[in-house]
Amino acid sequence: MHILHTFTGEAKLGKLVSPQDAGGAKVKLDTTMSEINQESIRAMRLSYGQAGLADSDLDADPIEQFKKWLGEAVENIMVVEANAMVLSTITDGTPISRTVLLKDVSTEGFTFFTNYLSRKAKAISETPKVSLLFPWYPMERQVIIIGTAEKVSAQESDDYFASRPWGSQIGATASAQSEELESREVLEAKYAETAAKYPQGTSVPRPEYWGGYLVRPESIEFWQGRYSRLHDRLRYVRSDSQKTDWQVKRLNP
């Protein structure tokens, strides 16, 4: 299942939005928001409970369950970018998070692409254990994945890079991701230089320092918000000796 940029505002806005969808997703405040302080932040509160998640509702395969939820997130007008996920890594014992885009999901796991010289890539080379979080707040849902990241094949990276828009290809080639930058003008000059080298309509080769990672899951948790903070949390887990069989465990909220 390849995840592409297929979102258009017109397509989503073509669906009717119920008053609950339009207004129920906004955090309620018990005080005015004249200033941001401890009191006003603590007053931010949303009552969950639009839908529950029963054990009987789950697919035996967490990848299939994820695809179901992803499809529903794509169709939800309030979710702007359903394939956006928070990737967390460890560098020198310090956790670091950033948002990346899911570009494939398969029986093997979850795939994203990035610069292999970036901070995230260096962190993965040192500690390949990572977590992924899909925060579908308007649906009162989260999916939390823990697994091990590994590079995908050069062919898979080539194929995806070739499918990207020309501007994205040039940007990926021009940017020394995560390195310090003297100014915005330096970056734009590098972009212009690279664009001149590979004019629009020509083939842009994938840089060796750019490619994909596959996150092989060890646990996948589905979180559904419920009333009185009695949220539903159902986690699929499997041991090293059970690479294909998943067990579902319900957790306290």
pLDDT (tens digit per residue) in 20-48: 444 444 445 455 556 888 777 777 766 67
Among residues 45, 229, 233, 235, which one is catalytic?
A: 229
What span, in angstroms and rounded, lies between the C-alpha atoms of 101 and 99? 7
CA atoms within 13 A on the CB side of 218: 11
* Cβ–Cβ under 8 Å, residues 89 and 123: yes
Residue 13 has pLDDT above 60, yes or no: no
Q: What pLDDT is attached to residue 79?
A: 96
Owner of token pair 């590979």: 198
C-alpha dist (Å) from residue 79 to 25, 27, 139, 224: 11, 15, 8, 15
Angle at 221 between CA 55 and CA 107, to 5 degrees: 95
Bigger pLDDT: 58 vs 2: 58
* Residue 66 falls inside a structural domain: yes
Strands 210-224 and 28-29: unpaired
Express each pLDDT in 48-65 by its tens digit: 776 788 888 899 999 999
* Residue 4 falls inside a structural domain: no
pLDDT, mean of residues 95-111: 97
* Residue 1 falls inside a structural domain: no
pTM higher than 0.75 for the full model? yes
pLDDT, mean of residues 126-137: 97
CATH of the domain at 99: 2.30.110.10
Express each pLDDT in 171-213 by its tens digit: 999 999 988 999 999 999 999 999 999 999 999 999 999 999 9
* Cβ–Cβ under 8 Å, residues 216 and 238: no
Judge whether 229 counts as a catalytic residue: yes
* Residue 3 falls inside a structural domain: no
Q: Which domain holds residue 170?
A: 9-251
pLDDT, mean of residues 70-97: 96
Q: What pLDDT is attached to residue 49?
A: 72
Of 30-34, 120-124, 161-165, 191-195, where does mean pLDDT reach its minimum?
30-34
Among residues 150, 1, 152, 140, which one has the least CA distance to residue 66? 1
* Residue 198 falls inside a structural domain: yes
Q: What pLDDT is attached to residue 45?
A: 65
Structural domain total, the chain: 1
Express each pLDDT in 140-150 by its tens digit: 999 999 999 99
The overall average pLDDT reported for the chain is: 86
* Residue 2 falls inside a structural domain: no
Q: What is the dihedral of CA 205, 208, 210, 211, to 10 degrees?
A: 90
Residue 127 has pLDDT above 90, yes or no: yes
What span, in angstroms and rounded, lies between the C-alpha atoms of 67 and 45? 30
CA atoms within 13 A on the CB side of 131: 14
